[in-house]
Structure 1
Amino acid sequence: MGQLGFFVDMTSCIACKTCQIACKDKNNLEVGAIFRRVYTFEGGKFPNPWVYHLSMACNHCEDPKCVANCPTGAMVKRDDGLVVLNQDACIGCRYCVWSCPYGAPQYIEAEGRVGKCDGCADLVDQGLNPVCVDSCPMRAIEFGDIDELRKKHGGTDWVKGMPDPAITRPAITIKPKAEAIA
């Protein structure tokens, strides 16, 4: 298997935030820390308003700046492409937080260290999906080999509101709503 990544179907996401809650629960996150976020974008003018939702977490980038800029080697890119954090090696310097254009690593004040989505590496190692995937009632998130997901769904790695994908080459593909790319 190659680089693992996520497919997100914006045309199906209803912003229920079940994926966000499942992630928060699995990672036992306190108030303020959220590894998967559901963003809502709105615009247009009457009589043509628009709204779309985007569920995002760590994009397990092919060129992760958080890994490149971590002075202790706490951020690691696994052979399967998942970007994981070795909590014992993290010194809480926040270089990864500042380096990630997607805001995935987050400084957790109570711990004095960083935390982030690891793609539910423990579940993936057992052949299971990340909790965000299985919790989505609309089945708007899939996980797997990013090349296979791109072949299956097509899509894009950029929609309005996201950084330029050339910065990190995120391992995501998104089925956008028309307003998100227009």
Structure 2
Amino acid sequence: MKEKNHNNSKVLKVINIGQCIGCYSCMLACSTQVYNNFSLQKSAIRVKTSGGYQGRMVINICRGCMAGACIASCPSNALEARAGGGVILHREACIGCKKCISACIGRAITFDKEEKKVILCRQCGICVDSCPHHVIDMEEVQ
């Protein structure tokens, strides 16, 4: 899995949601470059419509919590706090209990049914470079 060398004190932020057209370029970049899979279901970032004919786009991303509830909910210690915010997943320790999914305040953790492991954002920034409308960015943590 490739990871860009973004500074650990940066986290993903939605900066221009009004420009999102739902092209899923960010999701495809994540699933193909991080998870080596072309399925949108393997992406750690979720783009969807808020619904209705005039519905706006919604992007669920890891908010880079400093003391994430997801970490505290993990019984196998598969999640570790990341310097600068967010979490590091130790895949080999994940038992697939899904407790972190319900604990995540940003609804940013999903489950890979094939591998029976969680999918979560590594704050690598690959999605940022693929967004043609500059909707998301990596920002310094204050």
Q: Smaller-chain TM-score range?
A: 0.7 to 0.9
The residue aligned with 2:25 is: 18
Give the root-mean-square deviation of aligned CA atoms. 2.2
- Structure 1 unaligned regions, length at least 5: 44-48, 121-129, 148-182
- Please tell me whether residue 105 in structure 1 is matched to residue 114 in structure 2: no
Question: Superposed, which structure 2 residues align to 1:34-113 within 5 Å?
Answer: 34-42=43-51, 50-113=54-117
Per-residue deviation, 1:136: 0.6
Change in CA separation of 1:146 and 1:53 when aligned onto 2, cut-off 3 Å: farther
Change in CA separation of 1:140 and 1:65 when aligned onto 2, cut-off 3 Å: same
From 117, 121, 134, the counterpart of 1:139 = 134
Greater mean deviation of Cα atoms: 69-78 or 54-63: 54-63
CA distance in 2, matches of 1:19, 1:76: 25
Indicate the percent of aligned positions where both proteins have the same amino acid. 32
CA distance in 2, matches of 1:11, 1:60: 22
CA contact (8 A) 1:10 1:54 kept: yes
Per-residue deviation, 1:2: 7.9
- Structure 2 unaligned regions, length at least 5: 1-6
Q: Calculate the TM-score normalised by the size of structure 1.
A: 0.64
From 20, 39, 42, the counterpart of 1:33 = 42
Per-residue deviation, 1:22: 0.8
Question: What is the count of residue pairs matched by the alignment?
Answer: 133
One-letter amino acid matched to 1:104: A
Change in CA separation of 1:37 and 1:25 when aligned onto 2, cut-off 3 Å: same
One-letter amino acid matched to 1:38: V
